[in-house]
Amino acid sequence: MRKTLSIIHEEGLLLLGVSFLVGHSGSSFISSMIDNMVMPFISRAFSEAHWEHAHFTISEVKITWGEPLSTGLHFLIVIYIAALALRFLKKQSS
C-alpha cells in the first residue's frame, strides 16, 4: 500500500485526479449557468416557451435547436477557459 501511494505521489496522479474532479465540477457549473441564465433569454427572444423543445420546421422536418445551442455554448466557453489557462501556464513556465 505504501509503495502504491508513493507511485501515485511521484507520478502526479493525485494532481491529475483532482484536476479531473475540478474540471467536471466546473463543467457542471457552466452547464447550469447556460441552461438557467442564458437560454431562457434566448428562448424569449425567439418566442419559444421552453428552450429545450425549441425547434423550427422545414417542409415536414422538425429541427430542434435549443439543446444543440446550449451544448455549443458550453463547448465554446470551455474551449475559451482552456485557452486562457494554457496561456497563463505558458507565461508562468517562462
For residues 92 and 25, the model is more confident at 25
Whether 81 shows a pLDDT value over 80: the answer reads yes
Q: What percent of the chain has pLDDT over 70?
A: 90
- Who's near 15: CB < 8 A, 6+ residues apart? none
Count of structural domains within the chain: 1
For 22-34, the pLDDT digits (tens) are: 888 999 999 999 9
Show the DSSP H helices in 11-94 as ranges. Answer: 13-33, 39-45, 66-93
Whether 8 shows a pLDDT value over 70: the answer reads no
Task: Return the CATH number at 67.
Answer: 1.10.1200.120
Q: Which of 12, 51, 23 is nearest to 35 (CA)?
A: 51
Whether 11 shows a pLDDT value over 80: the answer reads no
For residues 54 and 4, the model is more confident at 54
> Does the predicted TM-score (pTM) go above 0.85?
no
Residue ranges making up the domain that contains 35: 2-93
Distance CA(21)–CA(27), nearest Å, equals: 10
For 33-53, the pLDDT digits (tens) are: 999 999 999 999 988 888 888
